[in-house]
Structure 1
Amino acid sequence: MAYKYPDKIPFYKFLLKSSAIAKNPIPFHKQWFDEKDDTFSVKSPLYGHIILTRDSDIARHILQKNHKLYHKSKIQTKFLSKYVGYGLLTSSGEYWLKQRRLIQPAFHKKKIENLVSIIDKAIKTQVDSIQCHKELDLYPIMNELAFEVVAKSLFNYSAKKEILSRLQDIIEKLQVFIVKEIRQPHKKIWYTLKGEIKYHMKLVKESRDIIEAIIDERRHSGESHDDLLDMLLHAQYEDGSSMTNEQLIDEILILFVAGHETTANALTFTFTLLALHPEALNKATSEIKNINTSNPLEALNQLKYIRQCIDESLRLYPPAWITDRVNIEDDTIGNYHLKKGTMLGISIYEMHRNKKYWKHPEAFLPERFNDASKELQKHYMPFGAGPRLCIGNNFALYEMMLTLKAVLEKFEISTSTKKIKLNPLITLKPVDLKLRFEPKN
């Protein structure tokens, strides 16, 4: 059978716009999706055939129905893993499956429910430190909060402030550079000559040293904690062996990176959206007022509208805004017949705004998740889909719901932001979003 690819965008169009695309590819994706009916291809001299789609049938074929034929691309398994380790997020095939089976029990819903009071306490401590009476840059506040929650609930670790800040700073710098390297691979020699690669690899070593210190501290303490770190230290493969120190550092570094930053992004977008939509904010605040329990786990079951607000925020601004795969064998998707080694990108951001699937796709309408119908769920993938669905999705949702509850109980919020700005790096980052916190009487 002859290979058949979606409509092509000529490669020269990418070259002409390469620096603008490197800064923000989203407007270009949208323009070409609109032109080419949700899916287009390009033939790159570096990567061969590349397909980009916002079609949910294609996305589900790749991530669910035929997932065994699709592995993560070198962008994740090679470039990203060089900086954040070769763990659950960046591995593929048998190794990924082995690691997923080992770590999955720690993220079982019941296990996360046992952590809810620790998560809630960490959130409240952070919320109590928020400054009032002035407009603040929101992302750093949410970043610190999410980092503390991961450190305390998953690793029962109280870091010195400077260590925490340093790890956050390293993660931020690495992400910016990884994106530069991925989007402008033709500049690799220039980055090497300038010493940028060497500098960022030093940062990688420093981040791994910080994580190794956390592991060593736990091992030498002889103490037992019912947390993720204990579970990872004692987890055994089928042959009775445990993870090496390198594997442990890989997994913990990725859980720190993925577990705090995506949540910080999502919380920043959600609070801003609520501040921009007073009716939704009033409804959310009223729901919190009517909670009739002091038990955080029971409270979660009563936060129905808060959950809808988070779902809608994740639809409009999914932190994991794009994902990719490469087929390890020839495959047919609908009318397309793809050669082995084709790279496929799924724009979750654009799928979530595709007018074929969503009424008023650009509007913030939490009520659309009232019944969360099955039809809706087909086109909604903020945590991915299929066997590689984000392992920490329940943890993230509980944390976000409890953070909204803690903030809206204590503060009136408002913003002078008129338009939400973003920066699509590895995750979708909020830019210059401000929030004012006024204590409630």
Structure 2
Amino acid sequence: MSENRKYNYPNKLSILRFFLDAEGVRKNSIPYHKRYFDKLGDSFSLKIGKSKHLILSRDNEVAQYILQKNQKNYYKSKFQSVYLSKYLGKGLLTVDGEFWLKQRRLIQPAFHKQKMNQLVENMNDTIVAELDSLVTDQSVDVFPVMSQVAFNVVAKSLFQLSVSDEKLNRIKYIIEEVQNFLVKEIRLPHKAWWFSLSGQVEKHLELAEENNKIIQEIVEDRITSKEEINDLLNMLLETRYEDTGEGMSVKQLIDEIKILFIAGHETTANALTFTLYLLAENPELQQKVFEEITEIQSETIDVVEQLQKMTYINAVLNEAMRLYPPAWITDRENVEDDNLAGYNIKKGTLIGVSFYELHRNPKYWENPEKFLPERFLGEQKKQSMQYFYPFGAGPRMCIGAGFAIYEMCLTISNLVKKYTITSVNSEIQFNPLITLKPVGVKILFSKR
């Protein structure tokens, strides 16, 4: 497309409106996004400075185009490639282009369904052990409980039993500290000078480096021991690049492990918390989950076979992730000029897709605000899956999606089998950070 050709963008949000709303958007952007979409349409734009444009969309055509149909022209934004990589290194989540493709091809086999099936027994044992100390008959803030469960499932799947709790707890602490600071950096860019001057940036970079050293020690201990342990670390150590036949360097392995920890535990904890809240609010659907797991467990004691039969539990999880997608927004920048949904856009346009709004767009969903798991059963499921992005889409779809589904199905089935779940909150609250984080969701667990 010629540089002289006129570019055109969706309906524009005025820069004045943007600045007037800026503080509210910083605290919780979702109500503002909905207001803008309702007023301006399923995609709207904002001009920043003389030439930079931003598009925010809840249009399925836009999502499919940038994530699947023409994904090669759409790279992750600087938020992921610069901000995240500063602390997380260069792993699958933060890199693009040829290097990303090389890493994806290398790591993908470790997440093949057959490999995941080998981890299921260990995963289930970890979940059962974690839930054993669950407080009953009093209000429980459920997110910290689910966060601990999800973190330990990832940790024990990565390292099985070869790492001390002290090291794992330190990794968890560092990850949470760095993530919280990262959110501050992104949301308060005008305070960058202060974060640097006050030593906060340096402090968190040091924490990230400490994390690297802990993981490096774990990896090198395993390599030295030459132990064959059935965990993700072993699977990653066995992977080989197609062109050289060599494995990953220890440095690269550390970066990928950090990504697996971060991508693998908070999003899962979020989804589990929202799912438990929705089941607590809908006791008749909770009863259906109970009946399904009771029936399945009477048919087989094999955990992999049980997972394959959890049709209704899967539908419940999908519908919970439709309403509250853990990765609630994604962004891309186009490498070259393009035509996006009828708009001629300049290269370097920042495009955000709100999965939260797309999943509630009445254009695609009937009664979009209602919790209806049957959307993901039988014939209805085919229709729903066209507009459903809990793990993204296209070549960059979350590599651990199968792992997460197994983990969530096992957690929900173990909880509902043992407990009746009652809601303490009448309304749900959340904070749209890097992920959609539930806030103060209180649940009552009573033994059946």
Q: Aligning the two structures, in what range does the TM-score lie when normalised by the shorter sequence? A: over 0.9
Equivalent position to 2:400, from 392, 395, 409: 392
Question: Structure 2: which 5+ residue stretches go unaligned?
Answer: none
Distance 1:246 1:361, change over 3 A: same
Which amino acid in structure 2 is aligned with residue 318 of structure 1?
Answer: P
Q: Distance in 1 between matches of 2:25 and 2:439?
A: 18
* 1:92 paired residue number: 96
Deviations 1:271-319 (CA, angstroms, capped at 9, x unpaired): 1110011111111111112122111111112211111100000101111
* 1:49 paired residue number: 53
Q: Partner of 1:175: helix, strand, or coil?
A: helix
**Partners of 2:118 and 2:230 within 8 A in 1:** no
Q: Distance in 2 between matches of 1:145 and 1:242?
A: 31
* 2:38 paired residue number: 34
Residue 379 (structure 2) pairs with residue 379 (structure 1): no
Deviations 1:68-100 (CA, angstroms, capped at 9, x unpaired): 100111110110111222100111111100000
- How far does residue 243 in structure 1 lie from its aligned partner after superposition? 1.9
Aligned residues: 440
Distance 1:110 1:354, change over 3 A: same
Q: Distance in 1 between matches of 2:430 and 2:341?
A: 34
Q: After the TM superposition, which residues 180-191 of structure 1 pair with which residues of structure 2 at under 5 Å, given as runs?
A: 180-191=184-195
- How far does residue 227 in structure 1 lie from its aligned partner after superposition? 2.4
Q: Partner of 1:290: helix, strand, or coil?
A: helix
Q: After the TM superposition, which residues 78-227 of structure 1 pair with which residues of structure 2 at under 5 Å, given as runs?
A: 78-227=82-231
Q: Distance in 2 between matches of 1:197 and 1:217?
A: 30
- How far does residue 158 in structure 1 lie from its aligned partner after superposition? 4.9
Which amino acid in structure 2 is aligned with residue 395 of structure 1?
Answer: F
Residue 256 (structure 2) pairs with residue 248 (structure 1): no
Which amino acid in structure 2 is aligned with residue 169 of structure 1?
Answer: Y
- How far does residue 154 in structure 1 lie from its aligned partner after superposition? 2.9
* 1:326 paired residue number: 333
- How far does residue 24 in structure 1 lie from its aligned partner after superposition? 1.1
Normalised by the length of structure 2, the TM-score is 0.95
Distance 1:77 1:46, change over 3 A: farther
Q: Which stretch shifts more, 199-208 or 165-174?
A: 165-174
State the Cα RMSD in Å: 1.5
Question: Structure 1: which 5+ residue stretches go unaligned?
Answer: none
* 2:317 paired residue number: 310
* 2:301 paired residue number: 294
**Partners of 2:375 and 2:381 within 8 A in 1:** no
Q: Distance in 1 between matches of 2:149 and 2:236?
A: 24
Q: Distance in 2 between matches of 1:224 and 1:202?
A: 33
Q: Partner of 2:248: helix, strand, or coil?
A: coil
**Partners of 1:175 and 1:425 within 8 A in 2:** no
- How far does residue 183 in structure 1 lie from its aligned partner after superposition? 2.5
Q: Distance in 2 between matches of 1:65 and 1:154?
A: 33
**Partners of 1:22 and 1:180 within 8 A in 2:** no
Residue 266 (structure 2) pairs with residue 261 (structure 1): yes
Q: Partner of 1:379: helix, strand, or coil?
A: coil
Deviations 1:84-118 (CA, angstroms, capped at 9, x unpaired): 22100111111100000000000011111222111
Q: Which stretch shifts more, 169-178 or 301-310?
A: 169-178
**Partners of 2:280 and 2:421 within 8 A in 1:** yes
Q: Distance in 2 between matches of 1:86 and 1:13?
A: 37
Normalised by the length of structure 1, the TM-score is 0.96
Deviations 1:328-348 (CA, angstroms, capped at 9, x unpaired): 011001220111111100101
- How far does residue 165 in structure 1 lie from its aligned partner after superposition? 2.7
- How far does residue 157 in structure 1 lie from its aligned partner after superposition? 4.1
Q: Which stretch shifts more, 11-20 or 133-142?
A: 11-20
**Partners of 1:151 and 1:157 within 8 A in 2:** no
Q: Distance in 2 between matches of 1:176 and 1:361?
A: 31
